[in-house]
Amino acid sequence: MTKRYVLVHDENKCIGCQACNVACRSENNVPESVTRIQVRIEGPYGNFPHLHFKYNRVSCEQCENAPCVKVCPTGAAYVNDDGIVSINEKKCVGCLYCVAACPYKVRFINPETRVPDKCDFCKETRLARGEEPACVTVCPTQALVFGDANDMTSEVRKVLDTKNHYQQKVNLGTEPRVYRIPSRKGGIKA
Amino acid sequence: MNNIWGSMEQYDPVVWNWIIAVYLFMAGLSAGSMLVAIGLKWYKQSRGQPTEGLPVIKAAAVIGPVAICLGMALLVLDLTKPFEFYHILLNYNLTSVMAWGVIALLVYIPLVFVFAALVFEKQVLQYAPWLAGTLKVCRQVENSLNKLIFALGLGVGVYTGFLLSAMISYPILNTAVLPALFLASALSVGSAGNILVATLFFSKKESDCIEQVHRIEYPVAFNEALCLVLLFVGLNFSGPAAQAATAAITTGTWASVFWIGVVGLGLVVPVLASTIAPKAWRHTKGFLITVSCSTILGVLALRHFVVYAGQSYIS
């Protein structure tokens, strides 16, 4: 694997504005009733007057050890050299095994194609043109950093090397490629 | 809820619904009835007794193919792209339990039809005399075929459990006990199904070899109960998320399904019926029908409980 695309979500900088959600929808033609990314505003945590919210990005974690890929009976769910968990629509029969197996619950059936859908870091469109994913580009507070973690000079590498970060549900052994910088106001709670 | 981030509908953790539960039941029923019938056949053969025309074996020859075909029909209809289901027959990802299930079923389904054709040879030849040659060949390899069907029956029974236990984020499902539980309950629903169909359609005397089938019910019920205890006791020691999932048997609708359906109808009623019921009743038609229906409903409840309660708790 030459590339290892990862995404870092800085929960200190995020303001829960949903610009990423909207940009993703328009870039990827996501039907109205479903979403590829949500930033859930959880909380409030703490005791008055020291209250704070947690901004929880919910999107495909691009697991290195992806449960959805393992359970797919036809190989329609697969991982390429870029490490992005992808879907081959032609091979898919719609058994929903991958949707059920995903521990992050980020796979959904696209009502138009009848095939599972999810974030793919805009790999067919923006990434193919050498641009960053739509959510990263529109983020007004630069809470998202995207790049190749195998490239030692990349910004994403620098962020991961210098800032405290965590991944969700590491105990399941899925090795997600979405990293999170925990809010200074609260503890780590995945 | 009207969240700023949008609808939560697609995040419902219950992805597989009652259709899958009924399929898992049908697959268990088919596999269980074949296992019981072939086991009975071997038992009789080893004692030098005749095995031709036993009501229980005739019943299995009906249940085996019918149950698995109904189950497969449900499964295909439940796909989001039912007309493209053939892709699953062409592409195999061998890390997927489902792919192994497809392979097992591809061999199992035609073989249960052969089994049925051999049991009802006379009737088959009446309507399709052109099958005489094929049936003759099958008859010659019947013993090996039975061994193969037995092995595949075990495979089908166990695979339905592994199918669910491969989903790592559901604590109730992601345990090694589940395949054993499904196999044990497949045997109990298989024997109950065989007794029911045999009593209703094939039995001439009241106790036509139903005794031997009854004899396996105790150990099977014991194993099923043991697996259920292991499942929930095990959850208690597997971290906070798994511990929270034990609420499945204490609160909510699925707790009632568990205690009334799975434990009550599936385990308590059959065991009590064969221990305290007066001897005079035991081989009456009404009694056999009631008890086997109770077991069947119990196993149907178990599959629903596992599918729904299993998916309701996520780690």
For residue B226, is it within any domain?
yes
Distance CA B95, CA B109 (A): 22
pLDDT score for B311: 96
The answer to whether residue B7 is domain-embedded is no
Is B6 among the domain residues?
A: no
Residue A85 pairs in a beta bridge with A79
Q: Classify residue B2: in a domain, yes or no.
A: no
| Helical packing angle, B97-119 and B132-140, nearest 10° | 110
Residues of chain B with C-beta less than 8 angstroms from the C-beta of A114: 80-81
The answer to whether A21 contacts B311, with C-beta atoms less than 8 Å apart, is no
The pLDDT of residue B282 is: 78
Distance between CA atoms of B275 and A83, rounded to whole angstroms? 60
Contacts of residue B269, defined as CB under 8 A and 6 or more positions apart, other chains included, come to B291, B294, B295, B298
Which pLDDT score is estimated for A188? 54
Q: Is residue B267 in a domain?
A: yes
Q: What is the pLDDT of residue B249?
A: 95
Q: Say whether A33 and B10 touch across the interface (CB within 8 A).
A: yes
Q: In tens digits, what is the pLDDT along chain B, a chain of 315 residues?
A: 578 999 999 999 999 999 999 999 999 999 999 999 999 999 999 999 888 888 999 999 999 999 999 999 999 999 999 999 999 999 999 999 999 999 999 999 999 999 999 999 999 999 999 999 999 999 999 999 999 999 999 999 999 999 999 999 999 999 999 999 999 999 999 999 999 999 899 877 765 667 777 788 888 999 999 999 999 999 999 999 999 999 999 999 999 999 999 999 999 999 898 888 888 887 788 888 999 999 999 999 999 999 999 999 998
Cβ within 8 Å of residue A57, ≥6 positions away:
A9, A14, A20, A37, A38, A39, A178, A180
> Which residue among B4, B16, B96 places its CB closest to the CB of A73?
B96
CATH topology of domain A5-62+119-181: Alpha-Beta Plaits (3.30.70)
* Cβ pair B92:A92 closer than 8 A: no
Interface contact flag, B5 A115, Cβ < 8 Å:
no
Q: Residue B159 region, left (φ>0) first, then alpha (ψ -120 to 50), else beta? A: alpha
Can you read off the two tokens belonging to residue A105? 């619950």
B4 found inside a domain: no
pLDDT in tens, chain A (190 residues): 588 999 999 999 999 999 999 999 999 999 999 999 999 999 888 888 888 899 999 999 999 999 999 999 999 999 988 889 999 999 999 999 999 999 999 999 999 999 999 999 999 999 999 999 999 999 999 999 999 999 999 999 999 999 999 999 999 999 999 999 998 876 555 5
Residues B168, A67: contact at Cβ < 8 Å?
yes
Residues B200 and B195: their CA atoms lie apart, in Å, by: 8
Structural domain boundaries of chain A?
5-62+119-181
Asked, for residue B3, whether it belongs to a domain, the answer is no
Chain A: residue whose CA lies nearest to B86: A93
Taking CB atoms and an 8 Å limit, are B88 and A70 in contact across chains?
no
- What is the number of alpha carbons within 13 Å of residue B26 lying toward its C-beta? 20
Which structural domain range is residue B278 located in? 12-312
**Chain A residues lying within 8 Å of B103, measured CB to CB:** none
Q: Give the tens place of pLDDT for each residue, A23-37.
A: 999 999 999 999 999
Within-domain flag for B180: yes
Best residue in A71, A85, A106, A172 for a mutation probing chain B (most B CBs within 10 Å): A71
Instruction: Decide if the complex's ipTM is over 0.85.
Output: yes
Q: Total domain count for chain B?
A: 1
What number of CA atoms fall less than 13 Å from residue B281's CA on the CB side?
Answer: 12
pLDDT at residue B206, as a whole number? 61
C-alpha pair distances (Å), A116 with each of A57, A129, B277 = 20, 24, 53
- The conformation of residue B17, written as its DSSP 8-state character, comes to -
Q: The CATH number of the domain where B56 resides is what? A: 1.20.1630.10
Whole-angstrom CA distances from A188 to A26, A51, A143 are 32, 16, 17
Buried b (16+ CB within 10 A) or exposed e, B95-127: ebbbbbbbbbbeebbebbebbbbbbebeebeee
